[in-house]
Amino acid sequence: MRKLCPVVWFLCAGLAAAQSGDPAPYFNRGMFYFNRGEYPQAAREFTEALRLNPGFIQALQYRSKAYLYTGNRELAVADLNESLRLGSALSESFYNLGARYFASGQYGHAFAEFTKALQYNPHFALAYNGRGLVYFCQGEYDLAVEEFTVALRLNPSLAEAFHNRGAAYSRRGNHERARWDYNEALRLKRIAAEAAFERGNAYFYDGLYDHAISAYTHALTARDHDPRVLHNRGVAYMRVKAYDRAIADFTGALEIQPDYAEAWSNRAFAYRFIGDLDRAIYDSSRAIALNPAYGLAFFNRGAAYALRGNHDYAIQDYTAALRFPTGQDSAVLNNRGNAYLARREYGRAIADYTEALRLAPRFTDARFNRALAYHYQRDYGRAAADYAELLKSAPDDSDVFLLWERAASGIPIP
């Protein structure tokens, strides 16, 4: 039975396509002049070769030397850098092909391509790791260890090489060294996962939620039992309105850490958005039981009660939310004002909307709601003033314009 071997992920890279014509004669003439020390003529021939094939690495390398020998250091450095760039890209192309051969079990072809990659980039650690995998799958564990060791000398942070060398040591019966390599692989993976987690947080705070989700997903490849990562990805999913996925992540976080109050509260938020109000209320209550000073949980539960038409309970929860820091006092006040409005307690509603506008003067929902409250109270002058203020920022809003006309004419809301 064929042994199971690790699969290495890779990046694909492309090279510039050659133009029509054969660059070889120009390159050969360039080498003739170069070997005779006639460097300006050599540079001209190499330039012609590169015109026909801009990816001709050897022509770049020798033109770089010709420029250097004629004192044109700036052009020499430019050619050298370009040859290194193309060599790296070509090396990656051979590596990618080798990885495909390896995945299909064609180990001889894979080894040949990894070796070609090293000809263009002798410091390509992944190519040594690839050759080590070939040796491993062929049962050549000593040779595999040598290749993995070279890979680690070039890139001491290559967790895959530590893991693979640990497997090779284990097959050789050297379990102490295998344990050390496995532990180092795990340590490096944890570091990479933590970096991916923090990168996800940075993307999230910049509003790049798709990038944040990608970073959190990468972190989970090494830390699939980290409730913080699952929770934060769930919050990012909510920002892109993928509520089912958000609920799945919050649920995963809670299975790992049942006392995670933020996960209970945010799952409640997601349930509320998909209309599952009973679960939203239950989850918010669990969050409050874990943290009685959790203002956002009171806010979430109040919003769910309001959607069910239970405005008394909603007002109680909004009032509790205002006793604790939420960073959303204006939204809480607006929602409590809506609950008072539903109970026709217009004075209390107006007081809440007014305080919300003091905290957030451009809060158009609160201004519109206050205008409605004034209108229901038949305070037509104040209602018209609020409608007029809204029309300054949205002059084409026909609904607000019709309400303004009614208020300005002293006509109540039907």
In the predicted structure, residue 83 carries a pLDDT above the cut 80: no
pLDDT at 17: 34
In the predicted structure, residue 347 carries a pLDDT above the cut 90: yes
In the predicted structure, residue 133 carries a pLDDT above the cut 80: yes
Q: Other C-beta atoms within 10 Å of 303: how many?
A: 27
DSSP 249: H
In the predicted structure, residue 60 carries a pLDDT above the cut 90: no
Q: Stretch 112-128: mean pLDDT, rounded?
A: 88
Q: Which residues of 338-349 are buried (b: 16+ CB within 10 A; e: fewer)?
A: bbbbeeebbebb
The band of 53, judged by pLDDT with boundaries at 50, 70 and 90, is: confident
Tens digit of each residue's pLDDT (9 = 90 or more) over 363-377 = 999 999 999 999 999
Tens digit of each residue's pLDDT (9 = 90 or more) over 301-314 = 999 999 999 999 99
Burial class of residue 13 (count of CB atoms within 10 Å of its CB; 0-12, 13-18, 19+) = middle
The band of 356, judged by pLDDT with boundaries at 50, 70 and 90, is: very high
Distance, first Cα to last Cα, the chain: 81
Relative orientation angle of helices 364-376 and 329-342, to the nearest 10 degrees: 20
The band of 75, judged by pLDDT with boundaries at 50, 70 and 90, is: confident
pLDDT at 10: 28
**Among residues of the chain, what percentage have pLDDT more than 90?**
61
Cα separation, 295 vs 407, in Å, equals: 37
pLDDT at 390: 95
Per the model's pLDDT, the better-predicted residue between 378 and 36 turns out to be 378
Q: Map out the domains of the chain with their CATH numbers.
A: 327-414 (1.25.40.10)
Cα separation, 306 vs 108, in Å, equals: 68
Taking the model in full, what pTM does it have?
A: 0.62
Within 8 A by CB and 6+ apart from 158, the residues are 125, 126, 129, 151, 152, 188
Q: Stretch 6-10: mean pLDDT, rounded?
A: 30
Element (H, E) at 288: helix 277-290
- 8 Å CB contact between 142 and 173: no
State the chain's mean pLDDT as an integer.
88
The band of 87, judged by pLDDT with boundaries at 50, 70 and 90, is: low
Q: Stretch 57-63: mean pLDDT, rounded?
A: 81
Cα separation, 232 vs 238, in Å, equals: 10
Cα separation, 181 vs 167, in Å, equals: 9
pLDDT at 159: 85
In the predicted structure, residue 8 carries a pLDDT above the cut 50: no
Tens digit of each residue's pLDDT (9 = 90 or more) over 193-248 = 888 888 899 999 999 999 999 999 988 987 768 899 999 999 999 999 999 999 99
pLDDT at 6: 35
In the predicted structure, residue 18 carries a pLDDT above the cut 70: no
pLDDT at 252: 96
Q: Of 205, 159, 154, 213, nearest to 181 (Cα)?
A: 159
DSSP one-letter string for 31-49: HHHHHTT-HHHHHHHHHHH
In the predicted structure, residue 269 carries a pLDDT above the cut 90: yes
Per the model's pLDDT, the better-predicted residue between 91 and 237 turns out to be 237
118: alpha, beta or left? (left if phi > 0; alpha if psi -120 to 50): alpha
- 8 Å CB contact between 150 and 123: no
Highest mean pLDDT among 105-114, 179-188, 220-229, 242-251: 242-251
The tokens for 3 are: 């042994």
In the predicted structure, residue 262 carries a pLDDT above the cut 90: yes
Per the model's pLDDT, the better-predicted residue between 208 and 325 turns out to be 208
Q: Which residues of 43-73 are buried (b: 16+ CB within 10 A; e: fewer)?
A: bbbbebbbebbbbbbebbbbbbbbbbeeebe
pLDDT at 117: 86
In the predicted structure, residue 179 carries a pLDDT above the cut 60: yes
